[in-house]
């Protein structure tokens, strides 16, 4: 099939295929080197990530990290080298789908054994600092919550003071005779004073907790300030994490102290005991009518006491119903675990870590598309149309090698079949020594007689072929000469 037999589209496709093949030949010159550079870079970051996970820093840990990183580099290089050669060459749908599935499985394996360690090497320190910052936020929230509950419990002091004041007012009224009708300090007055004294003592206990609560809150804020300074300080994050852990223990103690200083539970128990702990005094009225009035007044006081106790208990239960501070404990974390836990905050680092491992997959896709375009360009063209100058030169060299081999074989066969040549008789005649001329004299032998030489050979005829030499070997003509004769 000649170029005249091809359509214009086929000729253009063939030219495009040859151009793409030339580009691929040029790209193949440095693609393995580029793939090796990517594999080595991934291995280096993998080594850094593995080193951050190993607790021991001895020679064995160093060898383990180096061996793992080398294995990762070799695995990545071999995996993508296989795909760069095999996947673009697949012509069947089944083979292409199978290798595509193998590519996805291999990519997941590379991410599992290398990419997350690369991310740990790229952003491990920042991820640990992020963990420290989150821990500080949790501790601050717990501290503020504990302080809020403690201060809210301190607000119960006003409710207790109001109840105490009401009982003191009632006792003054009883002393003036406005309640039971009998002035003085009788049974009703003593009962009212008893409850006023209990509420006064409870009020004093609540007031006494104010200063410790404020001091604990200030101490907690100081610890939080030191913890924030450790997050942004210079130096290895591992050393800062140790100091951070010590400060977190102190802060947890402060939060526990604040939870113990809140008095809501104390007020609730006092409200329950306010009615149950009533000691009824003996009625000391002079007459039965007075004693009856005192009993009625004491019943009214007990009813008022129940109301005040219910009010205090309700206020204390409101404080107790507030959500308690969240239990916060600082847990040291490695850089790799921190990168995984806070992956959303380090998306660029994850993208770079995965891209350095899976970038050759894009090259595989590009090569597959290019090879498909080359095959489409060669469709409809015969083998002779797709031959390049290099292919023709290689074919000519092969023909010459074949001809040389065939000629050598014929020569060897001719040498084996030819009869052995007779050796000339080198024995001199008896008088040969006498007839030789002296070596120091000129040759005085007469010229030969032309008649003795026989007739002269005939002149060569231009149109007549020379007689064949019966002892000459016939010339062997190769396939190229036969093709030329056929063409003539």
Quote the Cα angle for 377-19-38, to 5°: 105
Are both 120 and 131 inside the same structural domain? no
Of 342, 368, 398, which residue constitutes the final position of a domain?
342
Here the CATH number for the domain that contains residue 301 is: 1.20.1260
What is the three-class DSSP state of 230? Answer: helix
* Predicted pLDDT of residue 292: 66
Assess whether 314 and 352 both reside in one domain: no
**Would 459 be classed as within a structural domain?**
no
The tens digit of pLDDT for each residue in 104-159 reads: 999 999 999 899 889 988 888 889 999 999 999 999 999 999 999 999 888 888 88
Cβ atoms 129, 237 nearer than 8 A: yes
More confident residue, 80 or 307: 80
Distance between CA 264 and CA 266 in Å, rounded? 5
Q: Which residues contact 205 (CB under 8 A, 6 or more apart)?
A: 263, 266
Asked which of 92-106, 170-184, 296-310, 356-370 is least confident by mean pLDDT, the reply is 170-184
Write down which residue in 356, 378, 400 finishes a domain: 378
Supply the pLDDT for residue 1.
Answer: 47
Mean pLDDT confidence for 14-30:
81
Ranges 8-17, 147-156, 293-302, 467-476: which has the least confidence: 467-476
* pLDDT score of 480 more than 80: no
Whether residue 283 sits in one domain with residue 167: yes
Task: Identify the helix (H) or strand (E) that includes residue 92.
Answer: none
Q: Is it the case that residue 259 has pLDDT exceeding 60?
A: yes
pLDDT in tens, 309-334: 888 888 888 888 888 888 888 888 88
pLDDT band at 213 (very low <50, low <70, confident <90, very high): very high
**Can you tell me the mean pLDDT for 60-64?**
87
Q: Which of 163-177, 293-307, 334-348 has the highest mean pLDDT?
A: 334-348
What number is the average pLDDT over the span 452-481?
45
Last residue of a domain, one of 378, 399, 424: 378
Work out the average pLDDT over 4-14. 65
Q: What is the average pLDDT across 296-300? A: 68
Residue 323 vs residue 478, higher pLDDT: 323
The pLDDT-based confidence of 176 (bands split at 50, 70, 90) is low
Residue 467 has pLDDT above 60, yes or no: no
Domain shared by 167 and 312, yes or no: yes
Asked whether residue 40 is domain-assigned, the answer is yes
pLDDT > 70 in the chain, percent: 71
Rounded distance, CA 457 to CA 455, Å? 6
pLDDT value, residue 252: 92
For residue 222, is pLDDT > 90? yes
| Count of structural domains, the chain | 2
Is residue 470 assigned to a domain?
A: no
Task: For residues 96 and 144, state if they share a domain.
Answer: no
Residue 477 domain-assigned (yes or no): no
The pLDDT assigned to 59 comes to 83
User: Dihedral of CA 334/337/342/345: which sign?
Assistant: positive
Alpha-carbon gap, residue 297 to 76, rounded angstroms: 95
For the chain, the straight-line distance linking the first and the last C-alpha, in angstroms and rounded, comes to: 21
Please classify residue 256 by burial: count the beta carbons closer than 10 Å to its beta carbon, then call 0-12 exposed, 13-18 middle and 19+ buried.
Answer: middle
Cα separations (Å) of 482 from 209, 281, 405, 473, 474? 120, 146, 17, 19, 15
Asked if the model's pLDDT at residue 432 lies above 50, the reply is: no
> What percentage of the chain has pLDDT greater than the value 90?
21
Q: What DSSP state is assigned to residue 182?
A: -
On whether both 280 and 221 belong to a single domain, the answer is yes
Residue 428, domain member (yes or no): no
Full domain range(s) for residue 53: 3-124+345-378
Q: What own/partner pairs with CB < 8 Å and gap ≥ 24 does 320-327 have?
A: 320/264, 320/265, 320/268, 322/148, 322/149, 322/152, 323/145, 324/145, 324/146, 324/149, 324/259, 325/141, 325/142, 325/143, 325/145, 325/146, 325/149, 325/255, 325/259, 326/138, 326/141, 326/142, 326/145, 327/142
Q: Is the pLDDT of residue 364 over 70?
A: yes
Q: Which two tokens stand for residue 32?
A: 């393995």
In terms of domains, do 199 and 97 share one?
A: no
The pLDDT, as a whole number, for residue 159 is 84
448 part of a folded domain: no
The pLDDT of residue 186 is 62
In this structure, the answer to whether residues 143 and 211 fall within a common structural domain is yes
Residues 58 and 188 in one domain: no
478 within a domain of the structure (yes/no): no
Pair (89, 11) in one structural domain: yes
Residue 49 domain-assigned (yes or no): yes
State whether 115 and 132 are in the same domain: no
Vertex 24, ends 18 and 25: CA angle to 5°? Answer: 90
Confidence of residue 446 (pLDDT cuts 50, 70, 90): very low
Q: Distance (Å, rounded) from C-alpha 173 to C-alpha 384?
A: 128
253 closest CA partner among 219, 212, 207, 210:
219
Report residue 478: phi and psi, to 5°.
-80, 175
**CA-CA distance, 73 to 79, in Å (whole number)?**
10
Q: Which two tokens stand for residue 13?
A: 């496709």
Indicate the length of the chain as a whole number.
488
- Return the higher-pLDDT residue of 430 and 263: 263
Average pLDDT of the chain, as a whole number: 77
Which has more pLDDT, 478 or 128?
128
Q: Are residues 194 and 320 in the same domain?
A: yes
- Distance between CA atoms of 427 and 433, rounded to whole angstroms? 12
Q: In whole angstroms, give the CA distance from residue 357 to residue 454.
A: 95
In this prediction, residues 288-292 reach a mean pLDDT of: 63
Region 360-371: mean pLDDT is 89
């Amino acid at each position: 099939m000649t170029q005249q037999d091809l359509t214009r589209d086929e000729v253009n496709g063939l030219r495009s295929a040859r151009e793409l093949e030339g580009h691929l030949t040029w790209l193949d010159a440095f693609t393995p080197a580029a793939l090796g550079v990517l594999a080595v870079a991934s291995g280096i970051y993998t080594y850094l990530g593995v080193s951050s996970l190993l607790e021991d820093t001895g020679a064995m840990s160093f060898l383990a990290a180096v061996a793992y990183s080398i294995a990762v580099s070799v695995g990545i290089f071999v995996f993508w080298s296989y795909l760069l050669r095999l996947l673009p060459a697949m012509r069947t749908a089944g083979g292409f789908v199978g290798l595509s599935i193998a590519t996805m499985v291999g990519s997941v394996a590379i991410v599992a054994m290398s990419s997350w360690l690369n991310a740990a090497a790229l952003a491990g320190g920042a991820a640990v600092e992020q963990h420290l910052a989150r821990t500080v936020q949790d501790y601050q929230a717990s501290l503020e919550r504990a302080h809020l509950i403690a201060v809210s419990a301190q607000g119960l002091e006003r409710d207790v003071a109001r109840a105490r004041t009401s009982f003191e007012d009632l006792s003054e009224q009883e002393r003036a005779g406005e309640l039971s009708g009998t002035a003085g300090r009788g049974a009703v007055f003593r009962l009212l004073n008893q409850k006023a004294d209990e509420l006064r003592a409870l009020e004093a206990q609540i007031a006494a907790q104010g200063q410790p609560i404020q001091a604990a809150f200030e101490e907690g804020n100081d610890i939080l300030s030191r913890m924030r300074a450790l997050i942004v300080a210079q130096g290895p994050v591992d050393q800062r994490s140790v100091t951070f852990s010590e400060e977190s223990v102190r802060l947890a103690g402060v939060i526990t102290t604040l939870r113990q200083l809140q008095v809501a539970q104390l007020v609730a128990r006092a409200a329950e005991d306010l009615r149950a702990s009533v000691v009824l005094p003996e009625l000391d009225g002079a007459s039965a009518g007075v004693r009856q009035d005192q009993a009625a007044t004491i019943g009214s006081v007990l009813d008022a006491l129940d109301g005040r106790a219910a009010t205090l208990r309700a206020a204390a239960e409101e404080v107790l119903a507030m959500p308690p501070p969240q239990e916060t404990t600082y847990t040291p974390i490695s850089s790799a675990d921190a990168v995984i836990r806070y992956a959303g905050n380090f998306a660029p680092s994850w993208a770079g870590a995965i891209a350095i491992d899976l970038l050759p997959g894009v090259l595989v896709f590009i090569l597959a598309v290019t090879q498909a375009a080359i095959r489409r360009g060669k469709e409809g063209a015969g083998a002779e149309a797709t031959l390049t100058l290099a292919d023709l030169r290689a074919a000519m060299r092969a023909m010459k090698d074949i001809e040389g081999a065939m000629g050598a074989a014929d020569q060897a066969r001719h040498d084996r079949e030819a009869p052995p040549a007779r050796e000339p008789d080198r024995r001199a005649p008896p008088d040969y020594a006498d007839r030789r001329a002296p070596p120091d004299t000129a040759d005085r032998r007469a010229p030969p007689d032309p008649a003795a030489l026989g007739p002269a050979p005939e002149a060569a005829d231009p149109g007549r072929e020379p007689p064949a030499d019966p002892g000459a070997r016939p010339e062997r003509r190769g396939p190229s000469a036969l093709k030329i004769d056929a063409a003539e």
